[in-house]
Amino acid sequence: MKFKLNTFVNFFLFSFFFLTTDFITTSIFQSKKKYGIKHDKFHHHLKENISISDLFNGQKYTIKTNSLGFRDKEIRNINYKNISKRLVLVGDSYTFGVLLNYEDTFAGMIENSLTNVTDGRGEGGHNDWEVLNFGVSSYSPIIYYYKIKYFLDKGLKLTHLAVFIDISDIQDEMTYYYDENLQSVLSIQLPVHLNLAKFKEYIKNNFFVTHNFLAYLNNNIFHFQKFKSPEEYLEFILSNSDKRGKWTLNHEEYSAGINNSLKYMKLLKLLCDENNIKMHIVVYPWLIQLYHKDLESIQVKIWEKFSQENKIEFINLFPLFIDKNDNNEIIYKKIKKYYIPFDGHFNKEGNKVVADYFLKIFNNYSNF
């Protein structure tokens, strides 16, 4: 009994010191690579004036931010007021452009098109547009509202706002409760698969050695949820094991998230009216919607109706990706063509489709 007790104590002490060392080392190491920070007015934001590179599936990409902490093509100073026409894009990870360099995201492509002009000789120039990307992963309408309000109160001038509503926004609005001033976030009971995902992310971000050790065991011994090909990953996403993007197919239980999203989008519209800002709403599909040919999606219906009732320009990108006549072979080809393998966000080609169509519609509405 004494031997067993000593063994347990030794194991406990070893684990404690190992995890403590791992945590401290990871904190020092990761602090140089993290670009996200907490914000007391709109929950989370990006560090200002940074350039951080990372890898995904062997591909390097770089995150750069400007003086206000918005993702940008370069580190630069943003003037609050001295601008005649400024378009702000707001959304979540799709708008932020995860795993891609900024020039390969629709935000970067839109900025490049609107801020660069070509004269009759084919030489480049610059016009009076400025584009800012407010998008950050895990944003939703309540944060869109508070973030826009925060920077307007600080004196930032903008003339146009394009809100890229994501499929995940409804679930995010339902999963979390925010107080009226967004000072705190209280997580209500999460589904098991979301709790597990958050736990994995926490281990990855805070225990580097432990995470890599567990990853080694998983990859070489247990093979738990290891995707050997994009096809295997796609099968998982399309299965019932992953439900985050499927609410549009069975939306009855998501009424709280829908109502909360509508509430804060209404507040955002009123804020735009008060500041003479032209507002646009853009919707686009996940690969789940492509697979199920969810062309007349509840996502489209909700925001098209809201836009009509509130006199907002509505841009529907679903028909660019979804055709009711597509068979499974064509659908899989589209998914591989437009979405990042092992991830599910738009790749460069998918972002180009979004940017080109947005610019086509936006240019018709943006004239004063």
> Which one is predicted more confidently, 56 or 69?
69
Q: What pLDDT does residue 225 have?
A: 52
- Integer-rounded Cα radius of gyration of the chain: 22
With cut-offs at 50, 70 and 90, classify the pLDDT of residue 101.
Answer: very high
Task: Specify the 3-state DSSP secondary structure of 214.
Answer: helix
Say how far apart CA 93 and CA 165 lie, in whole Å: 11
Residue 341 · residue 57 · CB < 8 Å: yes
Q: What pLDDT does residue 368 have?
A: 44
Q: What pLDDT does residue 26 have?
A: 47
Say how far apart CA 297 and CA 360 lie, in whole Å: 23
Token readout for 358 is: 């947005």
Q: What pLDDT does residue 119 have?
A: 43
C-alpha closest to that of 97 among 141, 48, 40, 135: 135
Say how far apart CA 167 and CA 245 lie, in whole Å: 6
Token readout for 42 is: 């709109």
pLDDT, tens only, 6-62: 665 565 566 666 556 655 554 544 445 578 898 988 888 999 999 999 877 778 999
Q: What pLDDT does residue 173 have?
A: 87
* Mean pLDDT over the full length of the chain: 81
For residues 254-261, give the mean pLDDT: 91
83 alpha-carbon distance from chain centroid: 27
> Cα dihedral sign for 95, 100, 102, 104?
negative
With cut-offs at 50, 70 and 90, classify the pLDDT of residue 364.
Answer: confident
> Lowest-pLDDT range, 1-15, 59-73, 88-102, 297-311?
1-15
Q: Which domains does the chain have, with CATH numbers?
A: 35-191+243-365 (3.40.50.1110)
Say how far apart CA 316 and CA 354 lie, in whole Å: 10
Q: What percent of the chain has pLDDT over 90?
A: 55
Q: Identity (one letter) of the amino acid at 190?
A: L
Residue 350, burial from CB neighbour count under 10 angstroms (0-12, 13-18, 19+): buried
E runs forming strands in 20-103: 36-39, 43-46, 51-56, 59-64, 85-90
C-alpha closest to that of 142 among 131, 150, 132, 152: 150
CA distances from 129 to 79, 148, 149, 158 (A): 13, 19, 21, 10
pLDDT, tens only, 262-306: 999 999 999 999 999 999 999 999 999 999 999 999 999 999 999
Token readout for 306 is: 């809201």
Tell whether the model's pLDDT for residue 126 goes beyond 80: no
30 alpha-carbon distance from chain centroid: 21
Q: What pLDDT does residue 46 have?
A: 96
Contacts of 291 (CB under 8 A, 6+ apart): 238, 331, 335
Q: What pLDDT does residue 102 have?
A: 98
Token readout for 41 is: 């007015």
Going by their DSSP bridges, the two strands 176-178 and 85-90 should be labelled as: unpaired
272 alpha-carbon distance from chain centroid: 22
> Cα dihedral sign for 36, 39, 43, 45?
negative
Q: What pLDDT does residue 10 have?
A: 61
Q: What pLDDT does residue 359 have?
A: 97
With cut-offs at 50, 70 and 90, classify the pLDDT of residue 88.
Answer: very high
188 alpha-carbon distance from chain centroid: 21
Tell whether the model's pLDDT for residue 100 goes beyond 90: yes
Q: What pLDDT does residue 192 have?
A: 37
> Which one is predicted more confidently, 252 or 215?
252
Token readout for 78 is: 């943003």
Q: What pLDDT does residue 96 have?
A: 97
Here the contacts of 1-6 (C-beta below 8 Å, separation 24 or greater) are none
Residue 303 · residue 281 · CB < 8 Å: yes
Say how far apart CA 303 and CA 285 lie, in whole Å: 13
138 alpha-carbon distance from chain centroid: 6
pLDDT, tens only, 187-244: 333 333 334 445 555 555 555 556 556 555 555 554 455 566 667 777 777 776 667 7
Token readout for 289 is: 């919607």
Contacts of 240 (CB under 8 A, 6+ apart): none
